[in-house]
Amino acid sequence: MRSFCRFTLVLSCLACVAPLHAQKGQHDPLTNAQIEQIREAGIDPVERIKLYTKYLHEHVDSIKALTPRPHSGARVLQMDTELQNLTALMDELGSNLDQYSERKADIRKGLKPLPEATQRWLGILRGIPSEPGFELSLKEAIESGKELAEQASRLLNEQTAYFNIHKDERGQDRAEPKQ
């Protein structure tokens, strides 16, 4: 009977810990103020892209500042968190770019600085020596950066070609069905 009670107690504890661990993984890479700025940008795709790019610059700068610090457990944990936040934010921007391109929004102004910015970010990430504790996060951030760089370059080329043909649709937030 005692072993059954212990078993039940252990299962109960595990059941409580699992949701807490899952909540921890749902951390938002943006601050409340940044989220509010994104909301205020509303449906203006160019402004939203500019904001995401700005926030990505800030995360990369934080990562760059952590790199030369003395090696410690706290630094490794902070680096891992920053890298995960960077990856999540790059993925979120990529999802937004997909949505904007599907609706034929003219996002060329927001896209133009992205290929250069992603190359800067990737240069910084590739310069970070991998360490136990954040090597997986670093690898994922680099992969996400490569995907974002490719996506931004491809979309910029597609958008330039599309709006050269459809000059009357330049500057639009979304393609409206023709009546």
**Tens of pLDDT, residues 147-178:** 999 999 999 999 999 888 888 777 776 654 44
Q: Higher-confidence residue: 2 or 33?
A: 33
For residue 78, how many C-alpha atoms fall within 13 Å in the half-sphere facing its CB? 15
Distance CA 132, CA 107 (A): 39
Name, in order, each residue with C-beta under 8 angstroms of 124's C-beta and a sequence gap of 6 or more: 60, 63, 64
35 sits in which H/E element: helix 32-41
- Left if phi > 0, otherwise alpha if psi is -120 to 50, otherwise beta: which for 104? left
CA gap 58, 138 in Å, rounded: 17
Alpha carbon distance 143, 32 (integer Å): 27
Average of per-residue pLDDT across 55-62: 96
pLDDT of residue 105: 84
The whole-number pLDDT of residue 14 equals 36
